[in-house]
Amino acid sequence: MNRITKGGVPSKTLNIALAGTGVGKSLFMCHVASSYLLQGLNVLYITLEMAEERIAERIDANLLDVTMEDLHDMPKQLYDGKIKKLREKTQGQLIVKEYPTASAHAGHFKSLINELALKKSFRPDVIFIDYLNICASSRFKGGNISSYFYIKAIAEELRGLAVEHNVPIFSATQTTRTGFVSTDIGLEDTSESFGLPATADFMFALMSNEELEALGQMKVKQLKNRYNDPSVNRAFIIGVDRAKMRLYDVQQSSQNIVNSNQVDEKEDAYNKFSDFKL
């Protein structure tokens, strides 16, 4: 991811993960949020899908390197000790905010950012919104409007929020029914609105099937990239540890993807996937 973004995503951008239901959109965002926290960055995670407690649990499991099951069974004293050690390693702060589905828009998020700055002296370095299609639009209040214009409006408003507050925003969207069973997702498989990929700065697909699941892997494919040439390293494989809500690098021998146009570069020239940069 660092390689295809030339060292990490810049500020004032909208970055979108495209995947089917249950593939790992929230897992991806929770992992990257954890990675940014360990780099000492402030993370604001806005969820309109899962409860904020579930998001916090996933990020805890990732940061503490324990499974979700062990996290629930862990004695409080042991948990407090792990949290104390974690605080010694990073100064990054995490705030998770939950909104009811389809009830919040960019105006609400702007008010939240201003309130956090005023009351908690918290200014986010990166924002995660889980996920874009179930946000509301501040310009359209329902009525007779197609999903193309509605989703496009939400994407434009969120990108405007990123520009206004000088932060990168990560979000996600669903595939169509055809894309859900496809082994090679394209931009045409974006659900509801093709206006979303037209607005996003960086868009990539997350794909899984029975074979990849058995290997504990996931396929990532570039769909749109304003930071680098999307035809280079078009697709690649990453490892998935769903129990710990983590992603990791796999060996080069696993990168056996047809037409991926991968370019071998020095291993030490880029950071590992767990250190995805801003």
Residue whose structure tokens are 């939950």? 98
> How far is it, in rounded angstroms, from Cα 76 to Cα 64?
13
CA distance 247 to 218: 9
Alpha helices in the chain (DSSP H): 25-38, 52-64, 68-73, 76-89, 106-120, 147-165, 177-180, 195-199, 210-215
Structure tokens given for 76: 């409080």
pLDDT at 171: 95
In the structure encoding, which two tokens stand for residue 83, read together? 């949290």
Kindly give, in sequence order, each residue whose CB lies less than 8 Å from that of residue 179, ignoring residues fewer than 6 positions away: 18, 20, 185, 186, 189, 190, 191
pLDDT of residue 29: 93
Closest of 144, 134, 80, 136 to residue 108, by C-alpha: 136
Beta-carbon count within 10 A of 43 CB: 23
Query: Mean pLDDT for each 10-residue chunk of the chain (278 residues)?
Result: 89 93 89 92 94 91 89 88 86 92 93 95 95 90 81 94 96 85 82 90 91 89 92 89 90 70 58 61
Query: Which of 9, 2, 5, 4 minimizes the C-alpha distance to 167?
Result: 9
Q: Which residue has the tokens 């509301």?
A: 136
How many helices (H) and strands (E) the chain has is answered by 9, 9
Rounded distance between C-alpha atoms, residue 230 and residue 4, angstroms: 7
Residue 143 is predicted with a pLDDT of 66
CA atoms within 13 A on the CB side of 21: 5
Rounded to whole angstroms, how far apart are CA atoms 178 and 195?
Answer: 19
Angle at 22 between CA 49 and CA 215, to 5 degrees: 145
Q: Which tokens go with 21? A: 């239901």
Q: What is the pLDDT of residue 273?
A: 57
pLDDT of 158 reads 95
Strands 168-174 and 202-207: unpaired
